[in-house]
Amino acid sequence: MFKEAFKFMWYDKAKMFGILFGIILSVFLIGQQLGICFALLGGTISLAENNKQYVWVVSDKSQQVSDLPLLDMRISRELMTVAGVLRVNTMVVGAGSAKFKDDTKTPITLIGTQSPRHIGGPWNFVKGSLEDLQQEGAIITDEYDQISSKKIKIGDHFEFNGNRVFLSGNTRGAKGLGVAYGFTTVERVRKLCKIPTTQASAFLIEIEKGYTNQEVVDNINKEIKGVKARDGQVYTDESLKYFALNSGIVASFGLLVIFAIITGFAIVGLTMFSAVNDRLKDYGTLKAIGGTNGIIRQLILWQAVLYSVVGFGVAYVLLRGFVNVTKTSLNIKITPYLTLFLIGVTLFIAILGSLFAMRKIIKMEPAQVFRT
pLDDT at 261: 85
Helices assigned H by DSSP within the chain: 2-11, 13-44, 46-49, 74-80, 146-149, 186-193, 213-223, 232-246, 249-278, 280-288, 293-325, 336-363, 368-371
DSSP string, 1-40: -HHHHHHHHHHSHHHHHHHHHHHHHHHHHHHHHHHHHHHH
Q: Residue 372 above 60 pLDDT?
A: no
User: What CA–CA distance (Å, rounded) separates 25 from 7?
Assistant: 24
Phi, psi of 108 (to 5 degrees): -140, 135
**Cβ of 369: how many Cβ atoms within 10 Å?**
17
CA-to-CA dists, residue 172 to 34, 40, 126, 127, 148, angstroms: 22, 16, 7, 9, 11
- Kindly report, residue by residue over 195-234, the tens digit of the pLDDT: 999 999 999 999 999 999 999 999 999 999 889 999 999 9
User: What CA–CA distance (Å, rounded) separates 114 from 123?
Assistant: 14
> Which of left, alpha, beta for 36 (phi over 0: left; psi -120 to 50: alpha)?
alpha
- Kindly report, residue by residue over 112-124, the tens digit of the pLDDT: 999 999 999 898 8
What does the pLDDT average to over 120-145? 88
Confidence of residue 306 (pLDDT cuts 50, 70, 90): confident
Q: Residue 102 above 60 pLDDT?
A: yes
- Kindly report, residue by residue over 352-364, the tens digit of the pLDDT: 777 777 777 777 6
Note whether 226 and 79 are within 8 A (CB).
Answer: no
* Beta strand pairing call for 85-99 and 157-160: antiparallel
Which residue type is seen at 141?
T
Contacts 24+ apart (CB under 8 A), 278-285: 278/12, 278/15, 279/8, 279/11, 279/12, 280/361, 280/364, 280/368, 280/369, 280/372, 281/369, 281/372, 282/8, 283/361, 283/364, 284/364, 284/366, 284/368, 284/369, 285/369
User: What CA–CA distance (Å, rounded) separates 318 from 302?
Assistant: 24
User: What CA–CA distance (Å, rounded) separates 359 from 274?
Assistant: 13
* Beta strand pairing call for 202-207 and 163-171: unpaired
Domain boundaries, the chain: 1-43+249-370, 61-225
Q: Please tell me what DSSP assigns to residue 100.
A: -
pLDDT at 11: 75
In the chain, the percentage of residues whose pLDDT exceeds 70 is: 95
pLDDT at 120: 92
pLDDT at 90: 96
Residues 6+ positions from 68 with CB-CB distance below 8 Å: 58, 59, 62, 93, 201, 202
Helices assigned H by DSSP within 87-212: 146-149, 186-193
User: What CA–CA distance (Å, rounded) separates 232 from 235?
Assistant: 5
Task: For helices 13-44 and 293-325, give the axis angle rounded to 10 degrees.
Answer: 50
In the chain, the percentage of residues whose pLDDT exceeds 90 is: 39
pLDDT at 275: 75
pLDDT at 366: 61
pLDDT at 285: 76
Rg (CA), the chain: 29
Q: Residue 140 above 80 pLDDT?
A: yes
pTM of the model: 0.76
> Which of left, alpha, beta for 306 (phi over 0: left; psi -120 to 50: alpha)?
alpha
Q: Residue 38 above 60 pLDDT?
A: yes
